[in-house]
Amino acid sequence: VSVYEMQGNWYRVIAAGDGGYVHKDALNIAGVRKNASTARNAVSQGYVESSSIGQTIVDEARKHLGIKYVYSQESPAMGFDCSGFAWYVFRQCGIDIQRTAQGIFDNDGTSVGYDQLQAGDLVFLGSSESNVNHVGIYIGNGEYIHSSSTKGKVVISNLDNSKIYIGARRVFG
Residue 21 vs residue 89, higher pLDDT: 89
Mean pLDDT of the region 7-17 = 64
Closest to 149 in 3D by CA, of 133, 137, 160: 133
Ranges of each domain in the chain: 2-48, 53-170
Mean pLDDT of the region 37-59 = 63
Mean pLDDT of the region 44-65 = 78
Q: What is the dihedral of CA 27, 86, 152, 157, to 10 degrees?
A: -100
Mean pLDDT of the region 11-25 = 64
What pLDDT is recorded for position 32?
A: 41
What pLDDT is recorded for position 31?
A: 45
CATH number for the domain running over 53-170: 3.90.1720.10
Active site residue 64: no
Residue 102 vs residue 1, higher pLDDT: 102
Helix segments in the chain, DSSP class H: 39-44, 50-62, 82-92, 101-107
Residue 158 vs residue 10, higher pLDDT: 158
Give tens-digit pLDDT for 131-145: 899 999 999 999 999
Active site residue 146: yes
Active site residue 82: yes
pTM (predicted TM-score): 0.73
The overall average pLDDT reported for the chain is 83
Which listed residue (23, 64, 82, 93) is catalytic?
82
**Distance between CA atoms of residues 84 and 26, nearest Å:** 31
